[in-house]
Structure 1
């Protein structure tokens, strides 16, 4: 474990996260958390790739292609109204129809 290494870990409640070895999380600190069982290494443990931004699903523009994500696509943390506007801009539904769906439904529809 060296400075700059990114590790995929699981916290005490089972939530996955990525930590970068460095001043904030030294190798000794991480090793202590792993030794005590507070953190566990994920199956795909160390990674040199940067952590994916949590606000983007990374699934492209929803048409099954591996192209870049749509820059208009709202973050999953954005309000339902942003998702309604996005779905309407894609031409999937009218604003009145989209308002009848849950935010989760609208996000799924955009995938």
Structure 2
């Protein structure tokens, strides 16, 4: 995976960083006087760093490689959407979830 910096959207990255820092500041200010919530800003910072790493990895990925897989992926997605209508579990008022043991999967999203 090689990042093509000429095509990289630095404005999107800057907006993401600024809004994420603002969000961390808001979480910090909202939990400032609550002693049991001191880990929330640190946890939010970890989520932001993981998200930024995923942003850079996604930007570096050449999406044109997926064109060879478009039909198999379409069939898998349609099968998942059809199966969830029949076999799905109700969670949060919708029957759009599969229980895969450790994790719940929502094919509609």
After TM superposition, the score normalised by the length of structure 2 is 0.27
Larger fraction in helix: 2
Larger fraction in strand: 1
